[in-house]
Amino acid sequence: MEDKLKIGILSLGCCRNLVDSENILGRLWHKGYQITDIENAEVGIINTCAFIDDAKNESIGHILDLVELKKEGRLKKIIVYGCLAQRYKEKLRKEFPEVDAFVGCVSLNHSRKSFYLTPRHYKYLKICEGCINNCSYCIIPKIKGGLKSLEIDSVINRIKYFDRNRVSEVNIIGQDITGYGIDLYGKNSLHFLLKKILKEVRHIGWLRLLYLYPSRVNEELLDSIKNHPGICKYIDLPLQHINARILKLMGRKNSPQDIYKLIDKIRKKIPQAAIRTSFIVGFPSETKGEFRQLVKFIREVKFERLGVFTYSRQEDTKAYSLKEQIPQKEKSERFNTIMSVQQEISRENNKKLLGKTLDVLIDCQEKGAYLARSEYDAPEVDGLVYVNSRKKLMPGEFKKVRIVDTLEYDLVAETLN
Ligand code: SF4
């Protein structure tokens, strides 16, 4: 590529991809390229996702858009990066001759300077990549490989940088951050890393842990979350199911009893914590009875935050060849059932907050109200707090508010001072 070319990136998929995109842009900037948005770029990079079919289709749609831009002469080169390129390089090469390069996932340490794609006040910090859990439905270990943790020094340098730059919230991410350190130090070292991180933090208000694999959530980790006001009381714990047979078929390492025990432990140790989870419905051979068991479990536990996915059949996974695939219509019905059950739970949970005070982080202003989040809401996936304030508020500011109205997933509040 010539020097000073203008480069734009389109980042699809999860926040882990976003961090990769930020690092790619940081590196290119160091090499002298100009960074711009995709509409004004000469070289368009698309960082793709291939986790489930919807994500693949979305990636393909965007590649087609870039191909159009190239045909119109508005783009000189197209580079397709990431999970989709890693999985289907050969097929894609034939399908899209207009694309100049396909680059699979490469291990990216943090660049010296990243080009952040999130607002100034919150950031994602990836501490590991890949996964050793090998859930039978998941293609990630095939795409990303086994666990690769970042060296502690590299994580600490990034935290110091965020802290110096007055970032308000740092979301610590990975495919499974409870695996952090197993590859480097022979044991799960997340709580140790957190201790080191907390020593460096002066200005960051919230550290949020995203994706905890249930069977590796240990006492030390829960104690860290409980004892440090700087760590959000937000337990992101994807459980996927509660039926013993389905959990086994999914290759999950915890039994229903383990899950019940863990939830009990969390509720007792950190009663104010919001537990976020996700479930897969319509896994091959999931009977109506097993599905009802899942619904009952959700009604019992009343998770504060919950996401649900319909099973997406992925080639090269163990679950792909399982018999008794569930028809799409049935999967969608199961999805809708859980969504409406959770809507009710969320509405009831929110009602209990009426009149209470909460600390929120201001994200932005929209149509007269400030959009904010409490420590119980992760960016982009959870609810919002709409804040009315007579005084001007700034993104990144922490504010104490009183809840004056509640909606299904969101809250309405006013400032206290
Ligand atoms: S924990 Fe399971 S679902 Fe999550 S990335 Fe690893 S293999 Fe995939």
244-289 pLDDT, tens digit each: 999 999 999 999 999 999 999 999 999 999 999 999 999 999 999 9
Q: Are 328 and 312 members of one domain?
A: yes
Looking at 307, 325, 351, the residue that finishes a domain is: 351
Beta carbon of 212 within 6 Å of any ligand 1 atom: no
Q: Pick the range with the lowest mean pLDDT from 66-80, 102-116, 149-163, 353-367.
A: 102-116
Q: Are 283 and 169 members of one domain?
A: yes
Q: Give residue 380's domain range.
A: 357-415
pLDDT digits 0-9 by tens, 331-344: 999 999 999 999 99
CA distances from 409 to 209, 271, 334 (A): 21, 20, 20
Atom of ligand 1 nearest to the CA of 138: 8
Quick check: is 295 in a domain?
Answer: yes
Atom of ligand 1 nearest to the CA of 252: 2
Beta carbon of 255 within 6 Å of any ligand 1 atom: no
Beta carbon of 129 within 6 Å of any ligand 1 atom: no
Q: Are 302 and 251 members of one domain?
A: yes
CA of 289 to the centre of ligand 1 (A): 25
Rounded CA-CA distance 144/129 in Å is 7
Mean pLDDT of 124-137: 94
Atom of ligand 1 nearest to the CA of 134: 7
Q: Are 225 and 311 members of one domain?
A: yes
Mean pLDDT of 371-399: 95
- Predicted confidence band at 2 (pLDDT cuts at 50, 70, 90)? very low
- By alpha-carbon position, which residue is closest to atom 4 of ligand 1? 175
Beta carbon of 213 within 6 Å of any ligand 1 atom: yes
Q: Are 223 and 322 members of one domain?
A: yes
Beta carbon of 134 within 6 Å of any ligand 1 atom: yes
pLDDT digits 0-9 by tens, 88-110: 888 999 999 999 999 887 765 66
Mutate to test the pocket of ligand 1, among 14, 131, 247 (most ligand atoms within 8 A of CB): 131
Beta carbon of 135 within 6 Å of any ligand 1 atom: yes
Q: Are 45 and 17 members of one domain?
A: yes
pLDDT, residue 52, reads: 82
Mean pLDDT of 47-69: 89
Beta carbon of 177 within 6 Å of any ligand 1 atom: no
Beta carbon of 140 within 6 Å of any ligand 1 atom: yes
Quick check: is 1 in a domain?
Answer: no
Specify the CATH number for the domain of residue 395.
2.40.50.140
Quick check: is 114 in a domain?
Answer: no
Average pLDDT of the chain, as a whole number = 93
Beta carbon of 395 within 6 Å of any ligand 1 atom: no
Quick check: is 109 in a domain?
Answer: no
Mean pLDDT of 115-122: 86
Tokens of residue 344, six digits: 């009710």
Amino acid in the structure at residue 236: D
Specify the CATH number for the domain of residue 167.
3.80.30.20
Nearest to 250, CA basis, from 214, 222, 216, 276:
214
Give the number of domains in the chain: 3
Q: Are 38 and 130 members of one domain?
A: no
- By alpha-carbon position, which residue is closest to atom 8 of ligand 1? 138
Looking at 302, 328, 351, the residue that finishes a domain is: 351
Atom of ligand 1 nearest to the CA of 240: 3
Q: Exposed, middle or buried, 30 (CB in 10 Å: 0-12/13-18/19+)?
A: exposed
Quick check: is 110 in a domain?
Answer: no
Residues 6+ apart with CB under 8 A from 102: 79, 80, 81, 85, 89, 92, 93
Quick check: is 112 in a domain?
Answer: no
Rounded CA-CA distance 61/41 in Å is 19
Quick check: is 334 in a domain?
Answer: yes
Q: Are 62 and 202 members of one domain?
A: no
Q: Are 259 and 154 members of one domain?
A: yes
Q: Are 171 and 310 members of one domain?
A: yes
Mean pLDDT of 290-310: 97
Specify the CATH number for the domain of residue 11.
3.40.50.12160
Rounded CA-CA distance 378/385 in Å is 12
Percentage with pLDDT > 70 across the chain: 97
Beta carbon of 240 within 6 Å of any ligand 1 atom: no
Rounded CA-CA distance 190/389 in Å is 39
Looking at 68, 103, 138, the residue that finishes a domain is: 103
State the greatest distance between any 2 C-alpha atoms of the chain, in Å, as a whole number.
Answer: 62
Amino acid in the structure at residue 86: Q
- pLDDT higher than threshold 70 for residue 18: yes
Atom of ligand 1 nearest to the CA of 131: 6
CA of 390 to the centre of ligand 1 (A): 45
Q: Are 245 and 131 members of one domain?
A: yes
- pLDDT higher than threshold 80 for residue 113: no
- By alpha-carbon position, which residue is closest to atom 1 of ligand 1? 133
Quick check: is 75 in a domain?
Answer: yes
Q: Are 294 and 214 members of one domain?
A: yes
- pLDDT higher than threshold 50 for residue 39: yes
DSSP string, 246-283: HHHHTT-S--HHHHHHHHHHHHHHSTTPEEEEEEEES-
Global pTM exceeds 0.85: yes
